[in-house]
Amino acid sequence: LDERSLLSGSRDEGLEEGLAKGREEGRVEGLEEGMVKGREEGRVEGREEGLVKGREEGLEEGLVKGLEEGLTKGRKEIAINALKKGMLPEAVSELTGLSLTEIHKLKG
């Protein structure tokens, strides 16, 4: 074999090795970049889902609390009016569902 054939064969082997190594490094870098991008997209999606869910839960809790407060206020107004009409505290308690302690606080 002449020197050119040897060099050409060595060069081809080196080229193949270089290409293989370059492909592998490219795959690794691509995988790392993909994982980073995937994590970030996942965080963004998670934040968005969390905000939506938080708003929904907040609205629901607010409605429930508002209804409860409104019912309590209405019961107290009925109790005050019933006491003004001379109803006994025990009867007002039974009528409104308020405790006697609450009725006595309203009376005083």
**pLDDT reported for residue 23:** 87
Calpha distance 65→30 (Å, rounded): 52
Q: What is the pLDDT of residues 40-54, one digit of tens each?
A: 888 889 999 999 999
Specify the pLDDT at position 17: 83
The pTM for the full model equals 0.53
Torsion angle, CA of 75/81/87/89, rounded to 10 degrees? 40
Residues in the chain: 108
CB 98 within 8 A of CB 75: yes
DSSP 46-71: HHHHHHHHHHHHHHHHHHHHHHHHHH
Report the pLDDT value the prediction gives residue 12, as an integer from 0 to 100: 74
Output the tens digit of pLDDT for each of the chain's 108 residues.
Answer: 555 665 566 667 777 888 888 888 888 888 888 888 888 888 889 999 999 999 999 999 999 999 999 999 999 999 999 999 999 999 999 999 999 999 999 987
